[in-house]
Amino acid sequence: MLEVSGLAVDYGKHAALHGVGLTVAEAETVVILGANGAGKSTLLKAVAGLVRPRPGSVIDFAGQRIAGRPGHEILEAGIALVPEGRGLFPDLTVSENLRLGAHAHRARKDEAANLAMVHDLFPRLVERRRQTVSTMSGGEQQMVAIGRALMSAPRLLMLDEPSLGLAPVLVGELFATLAEIGRRGVSLLIVEQNVRASLSIAGRGYLLEAGRMVGEGPATRLINDPAVQHAFMGASAEA
Ligand SMILES: Nc1ncnc2c1ncn2[C@@H]1O[C@H](COP(=O)(O)OP(=O)(O)OP(=O)(O)O)[C@@H](O)[C@H]1O
């Protein structure tokens, strides 16, 4: 469903991605692993239309060529991003933040059904719907960020380090919910440093190093691959 090849992104003279490729099939969960600065966020931003890829980069989604298109068109095509740091409006309430995720045309007519789905996945957001986001815990804010992305009824949900800053018990809950979202038919593309937790819900993974893909394979193989363990399994990944 998502097919990326030869994706290159430059920040001025600095090349952050040197021509990477990856695929995500319908209803598949894929993880991108890599150290700080490897280019993981840049990859997601390029797919989401938030940074411009170099001409010649190919990003195809559900039969459409989306490379270089603006972010709002890519959202309409069915790709949503939960950015690193979550990108919420801290002074607005939970409900207001969720409603802001529903502005895509493709989701407007189903807003009530999408909200019901978000409340089903995150029951705590029902009780907290009038609470200002800045007063919530990190785990609750992550629920709002994922909920807001789901309000656009994406076919592909991309998450940039969703477990960052969460206590280990919340990391477990987060990945259980992401697995449930995947079971409901949404494709997931997840950038993570938490190797074990993310691979445990994924079908496949890729290793990104200094702007190049240096490995890929089934999650069950990567989770036991010594190269992955050496390169990426820091203290946080052992949690
Ligand atoms: N806006 C920017 N301007 C210039 N250079 C940037 C910009 N954003 C990222 N870079 C550089 O591009 C490279 C890839 O960054 P990116 O944020 O994609 O990596 P990452 O793998 O997501 O790392 P992290 O986990 O630290 O976010 C890094 O060398 C980074 O310093």
pLDDT band of 231, cuts 50, 70, 90: low
**How far apart (Å, rounded) are the C-alpha atoms in residues 105 and 162?**
26
At residue 80, what is the residue type?
A: A
Mean pLDDT for 87-111 is 87
Sheet holding 58-61, edge to edge: 14-24, 2-11, 58-61, 64-65
Q: Which two tokens stand for residue 234?
A: 């820091």
Model pLDDT, residue 147 = 97
Predicted interface score ipTM higher than 0.85: yes
pLDDT of residue 236: 43
* pLDDT tens, position by position, 170-205: 999 999 999 999 999 999 999 998 888 999 999 999
Stated pTM of the model: 0.93
Quote the CA–CA distance of 159 and 81 in Å, as a whole number.
6
Instruction: Indicate which residue's Cα is closest to atom 30 of ligand 1.
Output: 37
Atom of ligand 1 nearest to the CA of 34: 21
Check if the beta carbon of residue 88 is closer than 8 Å to that of residue 148: yes
Could you tell me the distance, in angstroms and rounded to a whole number, from the CA of residue 15 to the centre of ligand 1?
10
From the CA atom positions of the chain, what is the Rg in Å? 17
Q: Separation of 95 CA from ligand 1 center, angstroms?
A: 32
Tell me whether residue 205 is exposed, middle or buried, using C-beta atoms within 10 angstroms of its C-beta: 0 to 12, 13 to 18, 19 or more.
buried
CA of 228 to the centre of ligand 1 (A): 21
88 — phi, psi (to 5°)? -85, 170
Q: Roughly what angle, to the nearest 10 degrees, separates helices 111-121 and 168-183?
A: 140
The tokens for 82 are 């939960």
CA distance linking residue 206 with residue 60, whole number of Å: 18
Question: What CATH number has the domain spanning 1-78+155-162+187-239?
Answer: 3.40.50.300
Q: With pLDDT > 90 as the criterion, what percentage of the chain qualifies?
A: 81
Ligand 1 contact via 7 beta carbon (within 6 Å): no
- Annotated domain spans of the chain: 1-78+155-162+187-239
